Structure 1
Amino acid sequence: MPFFSVIIPLYNKEDYIAECLESALNQSFNDYEIVIVNDGSTDNSVQIVERINSEKIRLFHQENQGASKARNKAASLSKGQYLAFLDADDIWKPNHLESLNESITTFPNSGIYANNYFIKHSNTYTAPAELNIKVNNNAPFILEDFFEASLKETVVWTSACSIEKSKFESYGMFNPIYLSSQDLDMWIRIALKEPIVFHPKKTMIYNNSIENSLGKIEDNDARFILLESFKEYEQSNCSLKAYLDLKRYGLALRTKINGEDKIYKDTLKTIDFENLNTKQKILLGTPSFLLKLLNNIRPVIIKNSLYLRIFKS
């Protein structure tokens, strides 16, 4: 039995999957397998995987059903004790699994093990994730408050974390009704009940490049339902409420840009504006045509991080 099963959902990532797999195969910690579920790709992604000669790789196929079902199927087919998720357009540093193993060894039986990470905002701009944490050394530790620590960027990014397979299954795996943010749902549910371990070493590069623009159409109805599903918990958890309100702010901004007026108005009603800063309040009051303009020129202004200074807290 391998210690880790690397879980990769694959859908039309021919420009990224080779580099992704190279990073996964170049790990200093060697006790792992790689389980890939091809989610009905129509490009050359599968052919690229098949050209890579490694006994660690196991490739399976399904009709296109989305990331949740692809990850869940890969997890079900995996043989490892721990699952380490990796999206097909993200990159691991060579010490990624080694750092996760250090966290697991130091704090066994925890809920989630998360490494620090970089964010690739464009081909010319990559920066460390901005987390609400003060770090004094490079040793893993248990977060005092996951939600407070995630009030900037989230502490747990899917391609930078690991969870015991049996624990993942006990939480019902990723909920396939959410076409996006299914990982957010899972991490919140676990963080409400179990300790989250964070390793300060930056071992992953999350590809948040131009394709994933703020105005990209997503299943925002389901995202609204997801955020509202924790209504009971946030009434007695101030940091969870603040965390969810920042997610709602992002949803409101996105739906305003998209012209999804009903979700935008419904989302505004759920936000405690005391949890937003002045800039965020101003942006929510900005005319949609101006927000669309800013979003359309994103490829230009993100090169010097101006876009992030505008839209991020």
Structure 2
Amino acid sequence: MPKATIVVPAYNVAATIGDTLRSLLAQTFADFEIVVVDDGSGDRTLAVVRSFGDSRIRIVQQPNRGLAGARNTGIHAARGDYVGFCDSDDLWRPTKLATHVAHLAANPQVGLSYSGSELIDADGRPMGLAQSPRLTGITAAHVFRRNPVGNGSAAVMRRAALDAIAFRPEGEAARDWWFDERFRQSEDIECWLRLALTTDWEIEGVPGLLTRYRIVPGGLSAGIDRQYGAWQTMVDKLSDTAPAFMARELPAARAFQNRYLARRAVSSGDARQAVRRLRAAWASSPRAMLSEPLKTATTCAATVVLAAFGAGALSAIAQRTGRRAA
């Protein structure tokens, strides 16, 4: 049985999944399998995956259930003690799996290991930006306020930790859920926060930008309002689980969520949305915004440059300064 499983949800991603799989097959840690969940694709996704002819790749097909549903099917099929996730347009650095396996093996209390992420554009080129999160001393408040895991392709989890948060909603006969399939966005942070709130498993990061996270112009920006709505739905759901926690942490978390979405809007070149989200962040909790002056100032400065001079000027500044903060 493989020691680790990498779950790759795939829906109409023929253009990118080849690069994703090549990055995963190049892992320096050799004892792994890749479970590709074809989530009802209508393009050549399945043909691209099959063209690899690699015994380490297993394909599971299902009617479309969305990203959370594809991840759940992949977890259900996974045979490894460790389960990592890589979306089908993102990439892993060759040492990523080895680093997380070593981290989890050396720290039996850690259930979720994650890394920082380099942001790449639609063509796979570095954008000069990165998610460089806090790595240690992670509490539920940190997850709620800042989501240090960052994105759905950064995490590698212990199977036992996943099993601790498994549930089966009414009407589901085939398998458990780990990610909540009612969420079309924010399903990852809902999962991480539920782990932090309801179990004793720790969440901890490892150094390095081991995930390469793709930003597609217009795509993320167009979904920012929906992403915020999904985040609010997550808040409503988990308020029943931990009402006192939610009441205490919500103002700061709302500020940080809006600041995060402002940065994503900046990355997508959407000045209007960046300004809107930045204003909402300040309105939610000025104290929270001032508690991280460098990140807040960077976000404000990038938003001002984008709004005043456009994406070209922002990109030129990033290239000259070599700044790696997203």
**Same fold (TM > 0.5):** yes
In structure 2, do the counterparts of structure 1 residues 53 and 15 end up closer, same or farther at CA, with 3 Å as the change threshold? same
Distance 1:124 1:114 in 2: 20
Q: Is the 8 A contact 1:132 1:149 kept in 2?
A: no
- Give structure 1 stretches of 5+ with no counterpart: 134-141, 285-289, 307-311
Question: CA shift at 1:280, angstroms?
Answer: 7.0
What letter corresponds to residue 7 of structure 1 in structure 2? V
1:39-78 deviation per Cα after TM superposition (whole angstroms, max 9, x unaligned) = 1112221111110021000111112221000010111011
TM value normalised by structure 2: 0.73
Moved more, 196-205 or 90-99: 196-205
- Which residue, 129, 132, 137 being the options, matches 1:130? 132
* Partner residue in 2 for 1:272: 285
The answer to whether the aligner puts 1:86 opposite 2:86 as a matched pair is yes
Query: Aligned partners of 1:208, 1:178: CA distance in 2, in Å?
Result: 21
SS of the residue 1:276 aligns to: helix
> C-alpha root-mean-square deviation of aligned residues, in Å?
3.8
Aligned to 1:178: 183
Q: Which range moved further: 103-112 or 117-126? A: 117-126
| Candidates 202, 227, 230, aligned match of 1:195 | 202
Measure, in 2, the Cα distance between the counterparts of 1:144 and 1:219: 23
Comparing 209-218 with 198-207, greater Cα deviation is found at 209-218
Letter in 1 for 2:190: D
| Shift of residue 249, structure 1, vs aligned partner | 5.0
SS for the counterpart of 1:214 is: helix
What is residue 235 of structure 1 aligned with on the other side?
Answer: 247
Q: Is 1:245–2:263 an aligned residue pair? A: no
1:159-191 alpha-carbon deviations (Å, 9 max, x no partner): 121112232133130001110110010111223
Which one is further off, 106-115 or 270-279?
270-279
Matches for 1:3-14 after TM superposition, within 5 Å? 3-14=3-14
Pick closer, same or farther for the CA change 1:132–1:78 going to 2, 3 Å.
closer
Q: CA contact under 8 A between 1:18 and 1:49: conserved in structure 2?
A: yes
SS of match in other structure, 1:127: strand
**Contact 1:132 1:151 (8 Å CA) reproduced:** no
Distance in 2 between the 1:189 and 1:270 partners?
27
CA contact (8 A) 1:4 1:32 kept: yes
Deviation at 1:196, TM superposition (A): 1.2
Indicate the residue corresponding to 1:226 in structure 2: 234
Residues 124/30 of structure 1: CA separation in 2 closer, same or farther (3 Å cut) = closer
State the distance in 2 between where 1:241 and 1:103 align.
33
3-state SS of paired residue (2:33):
strand
Q: Alpha-carbon deviation of 1:149?
A: 8.1
Q: Please say if 1:143 is aligned against 2:137.
A: yes
Write the deviation string for residues 104-162 of structure 1: whole angstroms up to 9, x where unpaired.
111013221112321225645243323346xxxxxxxx435464488667335321211
Equivalent position of 1:161 in the other structure: 155
Q: Please give the alpha-carbon distance, in whole angstroms, between the structure 2 residues aligned to 1:45 and 1:109.
A: 38
Q: Which residue of 1 aligns with 2:174?
A: none
Contact 1:2 1:31 in 2 (8 A): yes
Residue correspondences, number: 287
Corresponding residue of 1:137: none
Kindly provide the CA deviation profile for residues 180-230 of structure 1, in whole angstroms up to 9, marking residues without a partner as x. 110010111223343112111322111123143323363653332213444
Summarize the Cα distance change of 1:5–1:178 in structure 2 as closer, same or farther, 3 Å threshold.
Answer: same
Q: 1:269 to 1:189 in 2, by over 3 A?
A: farther
Identity, in percent, stands at 22
Aligned AA (2:214): N
1:206 equivalent among 213, 217, 240: 213
Where 2:206 maps in the other structure, the secondary structure is: strand
Bigger shift: 180-189 or 213-222? Answer: 213-222
Deviates more, 1:146-155 or 1:12-21: 146-155
Letter matched to residue 185 of structure 1: E
Are residues 147 and 274 of structure 1, via their aligned partners in 2, closer, same or farther at CA, if it must alter by over 3 Å? same
TM-score (structure 1 length as normaliser): 0.76
Amino acid at match of 2:67: A
Q: Which has the higher helix share?
A: 2
SS in 1 for 2:110: coil
Do the aligned partners of 2:104 and 2:111 also contact (CA within 8 Å) in 1?
no
